[in-house]
């Protein structure tokens, strides 16, 4: 829904193509779209909670930070614990180099398409479970582990059945993701009811993954404790990828502006691995 609505804004606002607008205009378009991303998520979460009304703009305007305004737009009130949880999560996830969704944003921007097209494509890439979709699976996993009462057995069975343990492993990091440490600390400070089971599962899973592949370090990634922190703010797991998009839109925007400055089209080469040349003559 976020992906579709972000793309829709290109038409509604008649956004110009990146190849035909100035850098200042692109920056303005990205700023407007970024604010709308948060608003779309907050409004749709409000509808998801069963409300049919919207929170008046003057109530939202009282919020001092993006996280506070977001919660006011969604719930009409902003619990300071929830604000701190979302704020920390958003600061930790705003930018992270050339990950899959940022690369997607840059590819679309490189074609000269408009900012809405580039951001909506990035939202699509982010939604996958191997990227920004992971926290949506972490909380149900923690609930399952807590209910089982036996993390070791749970991990053993999960790995034996070929499952990936969500929130572990990273394409680049071969050590603990530094953001994970900050989020764990925040989860503790905010008195998360899930942090104990998360820490226990973390120890068990790290040991099991290490035993399974001694040569490959699979450590805790940002998504693991993100899920615990988002739970403090009572964010339903299916909303986790959209919450991620609200912050990562900042990183995408910076990359889109940089890509525009290069003026270069992405066109990777592919190595053909299909059948060798063959005759098409009928026998
Ligand atoms: C993030 C991720 C996609 C990186 O994948 P990757 O770069 O292919 O991973 P690596 O090269 O380090 O390791 C690949 C191997 O480790 C295993 N592996 C990687 N992450 C694993 C995990 N979380 N649980 C179990 N096994 C895992 C894979 O099954 C694969 O094993 P194989 O070679 O026997 O087939 C992967 O670690 C993953 O799926 N993690 C869970 C999802 C997640 O938390 N995503 C958020 C990322 S920030």
Q: What is the pLDDT of residues 95-126, one digit of tens each?
A: 999 999 999 999 999 999 999 999 999 999 99
pLDDT tens sequence across 29-61: 999 999 999 999 999 999 999 999 999 999 999
* pTM higher than 0.75: yes
Instruction: Pick the residue whose CA is nearest to atom 31 on ligand 1.
Output: 213
Interacting residues of 239 by C-beta distance below 8 A, sequence separation 6+: 41, 45, 48, 136
Q: Of all protein residues, whose CA lies closest to atom 27 belonging to ligand 1?
A: 164
SS3 state of residue 168: strand
CB-based pocket (< 6 A), ligand 1: 130, 134, 164-171, 216, 218, 221-223
Residue among 169, 206, 215, 237 whose CB has most ligand 1 atoms within 8 A, to mutate: 169
SS3 175: coil
Average pLDDT over residues 6-31: 98
Burial degree of 244 (CB within 10 A; 0-12, 13-18, 19+): buried
The protein residue with its alpha carbon nearest to ligand 1, atom 36, reads: 169
Catalytic positions are 170, 223
Whose alpha carbon is nearest atom 26 of ligand 1?
164
Ligand 1 atom closest to residue 138's alpha carbon, by position in its atom list: 44
Q: How far is the CA of 168 from the centre of ligand 1 (A)?
A: 7
Joined together, the tokens standing for residue 208 give 């099991």
Centroid of ligand 1 to alpha carbon of 96 (angstroms)? 18
The more confident residue out of 280 and 34 is 34
220 SS3 class: strand
């Amino acid at each position: 829904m976020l992906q579709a609505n972000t793309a829709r804004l290109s038409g509604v606002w008649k956004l110009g193509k990146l190849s035909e607008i100035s850098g200042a205009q692109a920056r303005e378009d990205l700023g407007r779209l970024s604010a709308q991303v948060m608003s779309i998520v907050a409004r749709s979460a409000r509808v998801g909670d069963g409300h049919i009304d919207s929170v008046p703009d003057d109530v939202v305007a009282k919020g001092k930070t993006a996280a506070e305004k977001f919660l006011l737009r969604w719930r009409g009130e902003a619990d300071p614990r929830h604000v701190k949880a979302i704020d920390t999560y958003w600061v930790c996830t705003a930018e992270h180099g050339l990950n899959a969704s940022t690369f997607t944003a840059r590819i679309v921007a490189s074609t000269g398409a408009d900012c809405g097209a580039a951001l909506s494509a990035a939202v699509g890439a982010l939604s996958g479970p191997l990227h920004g979709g992971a926290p949506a699976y972490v909380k149900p996993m923690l609930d399952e582990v807590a209910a089982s009462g036996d993390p070791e057995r749970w991990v053993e069975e999960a790995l034996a059945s070929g499952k990936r343990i969500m929130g572990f492993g990273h394409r680049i990091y071969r050590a603990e993701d530094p953001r994970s440490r900050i989020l764990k600390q925040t989860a503790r400070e905010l008195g998360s009811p899930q942090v104990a089971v998360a820490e226990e599962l973390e120890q068990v899973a790290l040991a099991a993954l290490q035993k399974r592949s001694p040569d490959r370090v699979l450590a805790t990634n940002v998504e693991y404790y993100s899920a615990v922190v988002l739970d403090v703010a009572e964010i339903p797991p299916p909303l986790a990828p959209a919450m991620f998009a609200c912050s990562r839109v900042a990183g995408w925007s910076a990359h889109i502006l940089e890509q525009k400055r290069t003026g270069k089209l992405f066109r990777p080469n592919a190595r053909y691995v299909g059948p060798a040349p063959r005759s098409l003559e009928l026998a």
